[in-house]
Amino acid sequence: MSHFDNADRQSLRGFLNMVRNRFPDEYLQISGRIETLYQSTSIVFELERAGRSPVVMFDDIGGKGMPCVTNVAASRKLLAACLDVAEQDLPTVFRDRSQRYLPCETVDEAPWNDIVLEGDDVDLTRLPIPHQFTVDAAPYITAGQITARDPKTGVDTTGFHRLMLKGKNRLGVSLHSRRRMHEFHRRAEEMGQSLPAAITIGVHPLHYMGSMTYAYPPHVRKFEIIGGLFGEPYRLARCGVQDLEVPAGAEIIIEGEILADVREPEGPFGEFTGYASYRSTQNVFVAHRIRMRRDAMFHSVVAGMAKDHILISCITREGEILNALKRNIPNVKAVHVPHSTCGAFMAVISLKKIAEGEPQMAAMAALSTELYTKYVIVVDDDVDIFDMNDVFWAIATRVRAEKDIFFVPGCKGAILDPSSDPENFTLTKMGIDATRPTGRDFAERLVISDEERAKAREILERAGVRL
């Protein structure tokens, strides 16, 4: 696809061009036709089962005449390359850059103005929207970023919300995160108005990452956070709904509104928890106009517990928690939110413990920073927090349950967490201190030096064993 070659580096095309040039083994193109029903999801999950997380381009999905790219955000290596850092530095660099708010640059024109569809020509069913799981009520736009303004302050926001295909111009929406977009709609509804909004499809992974930050001042635009990640002003262009600004490098823009005082069934949907989710705010988005590039590609995020769906959540939560901890506990070394715990529900903290009580402080700070997190494990800095075998070893050998495990009942949890109370979404959260006690000798850990490990690898390579 030669049209990637001159891509702007802030666009999805720029990202794909970088992957194809620098990491060709991480780009998989499937030219034969596949069906929209389940197949794209099944292919990506089989790749994950084999230990692979390439970007996948489907040239023909459902015979819709538009390519579909997926699995864009499934690799720490590729996300680190977007920031030009080592994988282990990804959460720290994200934390630092996401606080360097940069004013945006508004440009006059954008490629998504090539084709403009209005009136009866608006037909969302023509897009190659995958139907991902058997439990899903319908095909879902999963990579759609909704942009809208606060009706009171005029400050805009952007973020992911699942979008259920209901018809040619109608999408079911769930604003279940109960964050800014939910509040914007509530305020508009209070004023007797629908909320003007635009759905952006096909953006750079750094847009994803910036859009999933939550701890920032109310006057700051998420686009300014995204600019900080790029290290340059994020380029936006005005679309045709309330002069909302959206990424100039996007593939497709759907303009419309989230209706006031209208609720319709939405879901179930295969959520990040690995379960079907029936919980929804049951909102409705009506599309009035579609804008797209002449050679637009559709973008879909693989749902469920796919890395494409939740890896960025892991990284952003690692950065957010690390940022909160560093303010009061400078001897915290790192944070890991494992993909295997749904990218949200558990955090592991590496701490160079100076005094007793610090692990408990760190755990409580993490629990109060991220409402989705309900279990926190604190380990010494000799434990590799990105190796869960090492973390479990620390729990098995350094925890005395009656002393080192504590519970915090009645905490607010995630609405999509199936273990939370179905009426008020509360649950009990837990901290585990898996650090060695201070002030006395403790069992000495067996270690193999980096030098000896390197020698061992050389010997194995000479023996024909590739690690």
For the chain, the domains span: 2-307, 329-434
- Cα separation, 77 vs 39, whole angstroms: 26
Which phi and psi (to 5°) does residue 157 adopt? -145, 165
- Cα separation, 41 vs 176, whole angstroms: 24
Residue type, position 1, single letter: M
Give the pTM: 0.88
pLDDT digits (tens, 9 = 90+) for 70-129: 999 999 999 999 999 999 899 899 989 999 999 999 999 999 999 999 999 999 999 999
Cβ-in-10-Å burial (0-12, 13-18, 19+) of 113 comes to: middle
Which phi and psi (to 5°) does residue 365 adopt? -65, -40
State the average pLDDT over residues 47-75.
94
Q: Is the pLDDT of residue 413 over 90?
A: no
Structure token digits, residue 44: 């990506």
Given 1.10.8.60, 3.40.50.300, 3.40.190.10, 3.40.1670.10, which CATH number is that of 329-434?
3.40.1670.10
Q: Is the pLDDT of residue 352 over 70?
A: yes
At 223, the pLDDT band (50, 70, 90 cuts) reads: very high
Please tell me the chain's helix, strand, coil percentages from 3-state DSSP, rounded to the nearest 5: 30, 25, 45
pLDDT digits (tens, 9 = 90+) for 254-288: 999 999 999 999 999 999 899 999 989 999 999 99
State the average pLDDT over residues 347-355.
95
Helix (H) or strand (E) holding 402: helix 401-404
Cβ-contact 165, 285 below 8 angstroms: no
In DSSP terms, which residues pair with 411 in a beta bridge? 427
- Cα separation, 282 vs 103, whole angstroms: 34
pLDDT digits (tens, 9 = 90+) for 286-329: 999 999 999 999 999 999 989 999 999 999 999 889 989 988 89
pLDDT at position 71, please? 96
**Three-state secondary-structure class, residue 40:** helix
Q: Is the pLDDT of residue 3 over 70?
A: no
pLDDT at position 371, please? 86
pLDDT digits (tens, 9 = 90+) for 237-255: 999 998 899 999 999 999 9
C-alpha dihedral, 214 to 216 to 220 to 223, nearest 10°: -40
- Cα separation, 222 vs 215, whole angstroms: 11
pLDDT at position 288, please? 97
Cβ-contact 145, 207 below 8 angstroms: yes
Tell me: domain 2-307, CATH 3.30.1360.20, correct?
Answer: no
Rg (CA), the chain: 23
